[in-house]
């Protein structure tokens, strides 16, 4: 049975460190601030945003939320972003994705001040990260790197197969893993919906990162014995035995894969809490940069 990579416990460890950092900043009259924009009422997005705000509160970070209806125009969304850009209390801006109209996403992301782009989605930060320059790094890939680091799993020289090519997870993930850094130096392969014989690639992997958005995509026959498996999926599967009518499951067929892997992240309690922790970390870093303190 695989070792469970407890993202929740690692998160708690890092959040305690961040809380101390926030207290030190408070002594210098600095309170990091995060602004969140939620457009529409997708229940999953609502629950992510609530979790992010709660985590801010626990860490001592100021947060505020603006909610717009799903019918909001691009101009209305941009106006809120501009307001956040101009607000000195705000060091980090998060526009929860996906937007109800995904065609607006590029323009909205580009409107965010890159110095407040704690999601690391602005082309300026994406480009800087690609080049190995200081930049805000997207929270989910960064969270995964920290799970591996704190669990003593070496990426240098490892073959990592990432399934999924999204701008939020897959693309930044392969980029970071391939960099000549402490948490990089991996040999990376990216698989996606048009990959033929995906199992041929995943079976070669020392580490498999599944970021597909579909339950049970990675099954035990697709990994080699002793592989490390990171499950990024958060899928809602109908379940009438649950009070809320659904349960959360990842992209990995946990029961069977856990028999064969050496280590695996659970869903929930794996990557999810780490994503939020990295958001807190980026918001604090933004405040530190903004005020030029040590």
For the bound state, the minimum distance from the C-beta of residue 98 to ligand GUN, rounded and expressed in Å, comes to: 7
Residue 63 contacts ligand GUN per CB under 6 A: no
Q: Residue 194 CB: number of other CB atoms within 10 A? A: 6
The residues in 140-199 that bind ligand GUN, with binding defined as CB under 6 A, are 140, 168
**Exactly one of 117, 119, 206, 253 is catalytic; which is it?**
119
Residue ranges in the chain assigned as alpha helix (H): 7-27, 43-59, 74-86, 105-111, 123-130, 139-150, 170-178, 198-202, 254-260, 271-291
Residue 97 contacts ligand GUN per CB under 6 A: yes
Cα 89 from Cα 92, distance rounded (Å): 9
Give the SS3 label for residue 222: helix
Cα 168 from Cα 232, distance rounded (Å): 11
Q: Say whether 52 is catalytic.
A: yes
Cis, bond preceding 98 (omega within 30 deg of 0): yes
Residue 145 vs 223, nearer CB to ligand GUN = 145
Binding residue for ligand GUN (CB under 6 A) from 155, 202, 217, 275?
275
Cα 163 from Cα 16, distance rounded (Å): 32
Which of these ranges, 8-16, 20-28, 85-93, 95-103, lies near ligand GUN under the rule CB under 6 A? Answer: 95-103
Residue 129 contacts ligand GUN per CB under 6 A: no
Applying CB under 6 A, the site for ligand GUN has a residue count of 9
Cα 280 from Cα 61, distance rounded (Å): 8
Which of these ranges, 81-89, 91-99, 157-165, 239-247, lies near ligand GUN under the rule CB under 6 A? Answer: 91-99
Residue 38 contacts ligand GUN per CB under 6 A: no
Cα 205 from Cα 213, distance rounded (Å): 20
For the bound state, the minimum distance from the C-beta of residue 45 to ligand GUN, rounded and expressed in Å, comes to: 7
**Dihedrals phi, psi of 102, to nearest 5 degrees:** -65, -15
Which of these ranges, 79-87, 93-101, 151-159, 281-289, lies near ligand GUN under the rule CB under 6 A? Answer: 93-101
Residue 286 contacts ligand GUN per CB under 6 A: no
**DSSP of 58-75, one letter per residue?**
HHT-EEEEEEE-TT--HH
Cα 290 from Cα 271, distance rounded (Å): 29
For the bound state, the minimum distance from the C-beta of residue 173 to ligand GUN, rounded and expressed in Å, comes to: 12
Residue 209 contacts ligand GUN per CB under 6 A: no
The residues in 214-273 that bind ligand GUN, with binding defined as CB under 6 A, are none
Residue 139 contacts ligand GUN per CB under 6 A: yes
Residues with a known catalytic role: 52, 96, 119
- Per CB under 6 A, residues contacting ligand GUN are 94-97, 119, 139-140, 168, 275
């Amino acid at each position: 049975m695989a070792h469970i990579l407890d993202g929740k416990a690692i998160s708690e460890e890092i959040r305690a460190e961040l809380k101390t950092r926030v207290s030190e900043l408070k002594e210098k009259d600095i309170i990091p601030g995060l602004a969140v924009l939620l457009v529409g009422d997708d229940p999953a997005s609502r629950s992510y945003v609530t979790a992010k705000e709660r985590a801010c509160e626990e860490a001592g970070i100021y947060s505020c939320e603006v909610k717009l209806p799903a019918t909001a125009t691009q101009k209305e969304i941009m106006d809120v972003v501009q307001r956040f850009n101009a607000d000195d209390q705000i060091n980090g801006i998060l526009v929860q994705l996906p937007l109800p109209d995904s065609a607006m996403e590029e323009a909205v992301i580009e409107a965010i001040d890159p110095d407040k782009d704690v999601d690391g989605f602005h082309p300026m930060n994406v480009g800087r990260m690609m080049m190995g320059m200081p930049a805000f790094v997207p929270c989910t890939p960064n969270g995964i790197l920290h799970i591996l680091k704190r669990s003593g799993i070496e990426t240098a020289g490892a073959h990592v197969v990432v399934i999924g090519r999204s701008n939020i997870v897959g693309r930044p993930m392969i980029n970071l893993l391939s960099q000549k850094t402490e948490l990089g130096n991996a040999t990376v392969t990216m698989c996606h919906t048009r990959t033929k014989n995906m199992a041929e690639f995943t079976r070669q992997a020392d580490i498999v990162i599944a970021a597909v958005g579909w339950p049970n995509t990675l099954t035990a026959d697709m990994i080699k014995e002793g592989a490390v498996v990171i499950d990024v999926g958060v899928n809602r599967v109908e379940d009438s035995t649950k009070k809320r009518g659904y349960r959360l499951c990842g992209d990995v067929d946990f029961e069977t894969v856990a028999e064969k892997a050496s280590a695996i992240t659970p869903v929930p309690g794996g990557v999810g809490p780490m994503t939020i922790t990295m958001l807190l970390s980026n918001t604090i870093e933004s405040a530190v940069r903004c005020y030029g303190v040590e």
